[in-house]
Amino acid sequence: MQNGRPSAYFSQSLGPKAAAQSTYHKEALAIIEALKKWRHYFLGNLLIIRTDHQSLKYMIDQRLAEGVQHKLLLKLLEFDYKIEYKKGKENLAADALSRRDSACAAVTMVTPSWITDLELSYVANPHCQQLIKKLAINSSSASDYTLNTGVLRYKGRICVGISTTLRRNILLSLHALVVGGHSGIRATY
């Protein structure tokens, strides 16, 4: 789907105990952490794990002696997966983290629907349009206002255009819902 290129990276430093372990152990821990992080993406799809550590390819055939092997196998049982081994220089995906490539760019970006609604509320508001034009030219041209990734802020607070639907939804979510806000007269008092 990504033309053989990674769509995201996950980096986490090893603790002192894990850093002292064998390469096999560290590779297995890396796979476990990636499975935890992106489980929701992997479920229901074929998961291909590419590693430059050959013994991980034969993990199912090995006698499980270490605790990390048990953990990894239990995590993998949940997925439809295959482990591919590629020698170090052939495995560009595994080595990509050790290099900085200026050609790497984000493939996807998640934008919440309320951000889209917020940006649309600026279109109908001439005052917001004027501020956005000023800030696009010079970020310090409008005092107390900032523009970051399409969101207009006044003294750090998000500005909402003249969209009555969006304002009503914001008030509803922050005031009327149990999670958001108003706990009733007695609790508020």
Q: Let me know if residue 11 belongs to a domain.
A: no
Q: Is residue 10 over pLDDT 50? A: yes
Between 158 and 62, the higher pLDDT residue: 158
Looking at the structure of the chain, the number of domains it has is 2
User: Are residues 89 and 120 located together in one domain of the fold?
Assistant: no
Closest CA to 42 of 52, 32, 51, 56: 32
* pLDDT at res. 108: 58
Task: Tell me the CA distances in angstroms from 51 to 28, 45, 65, 70, 141, one per residue in order.
Answer: 10, 19, 20, 18, 51
Q: Is residue 23 over pLDDT 50? A: yes
Q: Which amino acid is at 145?
A: Y
User: Are residues 45 and 76 located together in one domain of the fold?
Assistant: yes
Between 1 and 91, the higher pLDDT residue: 91
Domain that holds residue 117: 113-188
* pLDDT at res. 101: 44
- Identify the burial level of 80 via C-beta atoms within 10 angstroms of its C-beta, where 0-12 means exposed, 13-18 middle and 19 or more buried: exposed
Q: Is residue 53 over pLDDT 80? A: no
Four-point Cα dihedral 126, 131, 136, 138, nearest 10: 150
User: What does the block give as tokens for 41?
Assistant: 């993406």
User: Are residues 94 and 117 located together in one domain of the fold?
Assistant: no
User: Are residues 94 and 155 located together in one domain of the fold?
Assistant: no
Q: Let me know if residue 122 belongs to a domain.
A: yes
Range scoring the smallest mean pLDDT among 118-127, 134-143, 175-184:
175-184
Q: Let me know if residue 80 belongs to a domain.
A: yes
* pTM over 0.85, yes/no: no
Q: Is residue 29 over pLDDT 80? A: yes
User: Are residues 117 and 174 located together in one domain of the fold?
Assistant: yes
* Last residue within a domain, chosen from 53, 73, 98: 98
Q: Is residue 179 over pLDDT 80? A: no
Contacts of 13 (CB under 8 A, 6+ apart): none
What is d(CA 56, CA 126) in angstroms, rounded to the nearest whole number?
A: 60
User: Are residues 61 and 117 located together in one domain of the fold?
Assistant: no
User: Are residues 20 and 92 located together in one domain of the fold?
Assistant: yes
* pLDDT at res. 92: 60
- Identify the burial level of 131 via C-beta atoms within 10 angstroms of its C-beta, where 0-12 means exposed, 13-18 middle and 19 or more buried: buried
Long-range contacts of 85-94 (CB under 8 A, 24+ apart): 85/50, 85/51, 85/52, 85/53, 85/54, 85/56, 85/57, 86/50, 86/51, 86/52, 87/52, 88/52, 91/50, 91/51, 91/52, 93/6, 93/50, 94/50, 94/51, 94/52
User: Are residues 26 and 82 located together in one domain of the fold?
Assistant: yes
Q: 48 and 81 in contact (C-beta within 8 Å)?
A: yes
What pairs with residue 80 in β-bridges? 46
* pLDDT at res. 61: 67
Q: Is residue 98 over pLDDT 50? A: no
